[in-house]
């Protein structure tokens, strides 16, 4: 999947900068189950996928840095001693934020040039932002021999998103993108930042992502509001995070918080439990139980946490009606993006055709379908492999 990306960034870099760059692939991610639990110190179950960002990076001979985003046909030029956020929503904040966070660590960067291109659809809930951040972080770490560990790099990426993009994300996206293992999902404890990889044999089923191709404007503010709600309930309970709460604990303080916040907190407690049950189901090769947990996850996200939308609910409802789909839910922050579906392999084509037609009829717009494979995490592309892909 990265061949076209690789060729485009290499050609652009050669034409613009006349050098042989360091090449990096940083994947997006799916999340099988465990949504919005990461910033509550809970468990998540993500996996890196074979869609992502390719970066070409090299030291610059000039007194400034140049970053080119081919996806947006956009170029920025900046000086390392004059870093400040760009306008809200700009792609360049992901690059500038990483640079700023590295400098806060007391590391000295030289000037550099970077060309970026990805194939993760924007707003799909597949963490194109984490892929972009990690590609820049790893590239700069390698280029200037900064000595950061992979764990240190994901926190640099996360802080860039907090402080320059304005999204108070958890660590799941950056972790999955950086540490992904081919054919595995990672059962990640977001408190210890340790994960157990699980080899997943989907047997006669396939993962199918269906993109609503909508991203409602509530997404960023609602994400931050929900994080604040979880922190408020944790404070009332006198605990560090909702990972430490039980349903019984929440019942005891139900009259001290709004019903809306109670339901949000209850969802987090239940979803954290579902990730643990999902790990057991995968260990037992029990895809039917995994599928039911995935359906339950969506019900909680839609009815309790209230981060779904009409388009996402429609796609999950169509999946439930189909006996060949054993699990489906919205994936990502919410208010648009993709559903993840576990579909019988021989029925994928018919399912996609049916649900696409129904979606177009209902919303007068098309959805998009992606078939993904589980991938290795952010890494340098070996020059030999890069030549073979040309």
Enumerate the active-site residues: 173
How wide is the angle at C-alpha 65 spanned by C-alphas 61 and 67, nearest 5°? 125
Q: Using CA atoms, how far apart are residues 144 and 163, in angstroms rounded to an integer?
A: 23
Specify whether the CB–CB gap between 341 and 325 falls below 8 A.
yes
Q: Using CA atoms, how far apart are residues 325 and 342, in angstroms rounded to an integer?
A: 6
Among 334, 276, 342, 325, smallest CA distance to 303 is for 334
Q: Using CA atoms, how far apart are residues 209 and 206, in angstroms rounded to an integer?
A: 10
Specify whether the CB–CB gap between 339 and 210 falls below 8 A.
yes
Phi/psi for 316 (5° steps) reads -70, -40
Which sign does the torsion angle of CA 304, 363, 314, 211 carry?
negative
Among 138, 134, 158, smallest CA distance to 148 is for 138
């Amino acid at each position: 999947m990265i061949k076209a990306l690789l060729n485009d960034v290499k050609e652009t870099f050669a034409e613009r900068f006349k050098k042989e760059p360091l090449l990096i692939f940083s994947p997006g991610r799916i999340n099988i189950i465990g949504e919005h639990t990461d910033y509550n110190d809970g468990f998540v179950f993500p996996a890196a996928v074979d869609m992502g960002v390719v970066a070409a990076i090299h030291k610059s001979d000039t007194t400034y840095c140049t970053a080119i985003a081919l996806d947006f046909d956009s170029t920025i030029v900046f000086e390392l001693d004059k870093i400040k956020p760009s306008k809200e929503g700009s792609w360049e904040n992901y690059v500038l934020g990483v640079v700023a966070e590295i400098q806060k660590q007391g590391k000295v960067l030289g000037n550099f040039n970077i060309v970026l291109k990805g194939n993760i659809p924007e707003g799909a809930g597949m963490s194109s932002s984490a892929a972009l951040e990690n590609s820049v972080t790893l590239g700069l770490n390698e280029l200037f021999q900064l000595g950061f560990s992979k764990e240190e790099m994901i926190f640099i990426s996360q802080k860039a998103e907090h402080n320059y993009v304005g999204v108070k994300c958890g660590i799941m996206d950056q972790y999955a993108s950086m540490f992904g293992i081919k054919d595995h999902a990672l059962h990640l404890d977001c408190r210890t930042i340790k994960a157990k990889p699980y080899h997943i044999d989907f047997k006669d089923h396939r993962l199918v992502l269906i993109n609503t191709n909508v991203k409602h404007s509530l997404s960023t503010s609602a994400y931050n509001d929900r994080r604040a709600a979880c922190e408020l309930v944790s404070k009332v309970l006198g605990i560090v995070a909702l990972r430490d709460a039980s349903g019984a604990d929440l019942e005891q303080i139900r009259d001290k918080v709004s019903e809306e916040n109670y339901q949000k907190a209850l969802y987090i407690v239940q979803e954290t439990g579902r990730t643990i049950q999902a790990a057991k189901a995968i260990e037992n090769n029990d895809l039917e139980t995994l599928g039911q947990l995935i359906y339950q996850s969506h019900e909680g996200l839609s009815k309790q946490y209230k981060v779904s939308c009409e388009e996402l609910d429609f796609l999950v409802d169509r999946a439930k009606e189909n006996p060949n789909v054993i699990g489906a839910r919205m994936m990502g922050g919410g208010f648009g993006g993709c559903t993840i579906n576990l579909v019988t392999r021989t029925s994928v084509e018919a399912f996609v055709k049916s649900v696409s037609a129904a979606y177009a009829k209902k919303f007068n717009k098309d959805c998009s379908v992606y078939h993904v494979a589980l991938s290795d995490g952010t890494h340098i592309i070996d020059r030999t492999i890069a030549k073979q892909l040309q």
